[in-house]
Amino acid sequence: MSDAHIFDEEFPETSPLLTAEEEEDLSFPASQPPEVSYMGQDFDVEGLVRRLDRGDIVVPSFGDVSEDIETAGFQRGFVWNRSQMDRFIESLLMGYPIPGIFLVRQGDGKMLVLDGQQRLRTLQHFYRGTFNDKTFRLSSVAERFKGLSYNELSDEMRRSIDNTFIQATIVTAKPDADNMDAIYQIFERLNSGGTQLT
* Residue of 96, 74, 86 whose CA lies nearest to 119: 86
Q: Does residue 194 sit within a domain? A: no
Q: pLDDT tens digits, residue range 79-102?
A: 899 999 999 999 999 999 999 999
Residue range 4-45, pLDDT digits in tens: 444 555 555 544 555 666 566 555 555 565 566 778 999 999
Whole-angstrom distance, CA of residue 50 vs CA of residue 196: 32
> What is the CB neighbour count within 10 angstroms for residue 168?
23
Asked whether residue 142 is assigned to any structural domain, the reply reads yes
Model confidence band, residue 146 (pLDDT cutoffs 50, 70, 90):
very high
Model pTM score: 0.69
Look at residue 168 and tell me if it is in a domain: yes
How many domains does the chain fold into?
1
CA proximity to 197, closest of 106, 115, 81: 115
Is 77 contained in some domain? Answer: yes
Range of the domain at 155: 35-185
Rounded distance between C-alpha atoms, residue 190 and residue 27, angstroms: 18
Phi/psi for 43 (5° steps) reads -120, 140
Q: 7 lies in a domain?
A: no
CA–CA dist 187, 135 (Å, integer): 32
Q: Is residue 23 part of a domain?
A: no
Distance CA(10)–CA(13), nearest Å, equals 10
Strand partners, 41: 168
Other Cβ atoms within 10 Å of 93 Cβ, number: 21
Is there a domain that residue 90 lies in? yes
